[in-house]
């Protein structure tokens, strides 16, 4: 067999009958992204770069204001209560006098004469300390029951004051009949800025 110039003929593989393309069942691919979306434009030179939004401090400020107002409101309520009880700095002398009387007689009922005398004026304390021992023991053994219905007709003259007490005070000394008073006029004296029960020199028994 003779070959054309240049050597052997090019290799030709086996020939197969042409096979038709089989459908895949999938639609042909479309262009992406869709034509209606314009392509993203690159940022222009010198354009400001968007910064993330800073957290606002308004919420924090509002919270602090609410806390302050709550604290002030609590202070106002406490101050009003103390003033009504005669304990606050704005309490009137009348309220302070009423508080001093109730405190004195409450101590007298629950703790006796010695403890009550410690709340009285300096002159009353001195008189109690000067009592003979037998008389002090008699006071220590006494039982006192006090009920104050109201304190009225408070009259203030400088550092001295009087107040009318309506209620019941019963003194029970062992071996004696109970002694009960339903009203009395109490004398007070202002010492070191505080009102104190003070019967010394007033003629009160």
In tens, the pLDDT along 141-159 reads 999 999 999 999 999 999 9
In a domain, 133, yes or no: yes
* Whole-number pLDDT of residue 171: 92
Whether the model clears a pTM of 0.85, i.e. scores above it, the answer is no
Torsion angle of the four alpha carbons 92, 98, 101, 105, in this order, in degrees rounded to the nearest 10: -140
CATH code of the domain covering residue 132: 3.10.450.50
Asked if the model's pLDDT at residue 180 lies above 70, the reply is: yes
In a domain, 181, yes or no: yes
In a domain, 176, yes or no: yes
Between CA 60 and CA 4 the distance in angstroms is 96
What is the tens place of the pLDDT at every residue in 13-61?
555 455 555 555 555 555 555 555 555 565 566 556 656 555 556 666 7
In a domain, 186, yes or no: yes
Q: How many domains does the chain have?
A: 1
Q: Mean pLDDT throughout 97-112? A: 96
In a domain, 144, yes or no: yes
* Whole-number pLDDT of residue 84: 46
Between CA 169 and CA 104 the distance in angstroms is 13
CB 140 within 8 A of CB 115: no
Torsion angle of the four alpha carbons 43, 47, 51, 56, in this order, in degrees rounded to the nearest 10: -140
Between CA 193 and CA 70 the distance in angstroms is 32
In a domain, 113, yes or no: yes
Bridge partners, 183 (sequence order): 166
Phi/psi for 204 (5° steps) reads: -80, 145
Query: In which domain, by residue range, is 151 found?
Result: 93-197
Q: Mean pLDDT throughout 87-93? A: 70
In a domain, 75, yes or no: no
Identify which of 121, 134, 107 has the alpha carbon closest to the alpha carbon of residue 160. Answer: 121
């Amino acid at each position: 067999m003779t070959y054309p110039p240049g050597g052997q003929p090019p290799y030709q593989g086996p020939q197969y009958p042409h096979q038709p393309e089989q459908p895949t069942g999938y639609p042909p691919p479309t262009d992406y992204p869709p034509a209606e979306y314009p392509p993203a434009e690159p940022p222009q030179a010198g354009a400001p770069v968007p910064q993330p939004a800073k957290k606002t401090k308004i919420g924090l400020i509002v919270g602090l204001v609410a806390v302050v107002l709550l604290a002030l409101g609590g202070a106002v309520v406490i101050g009003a209560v103390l003033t009504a009880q005669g304990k606050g700095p704005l309490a009137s002398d009348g309220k302070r006098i009423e508080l001093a009387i109730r405190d004195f007689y409450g101590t007298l009922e629950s703790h006796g004469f010695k403890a009550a005398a410690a709340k009285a004026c300096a002159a009353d304390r001195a008189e109690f300390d000067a009592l003979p021992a037998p008389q002090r023991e008699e006071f220590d053994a006494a039982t006192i029951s006090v009920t104050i219905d109201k304190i009225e007709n408070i009259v203030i003259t400088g550092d001295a004051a009087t107040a009318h007490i309506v209620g019941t005070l019963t003194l029970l000394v062992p071996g004696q009949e109970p002694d009960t008073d339903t009203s009395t006029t109490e004398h007070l004296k202002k010492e070191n800025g505080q009102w104190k029960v003070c019967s010394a020199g007033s003629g009160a028994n």
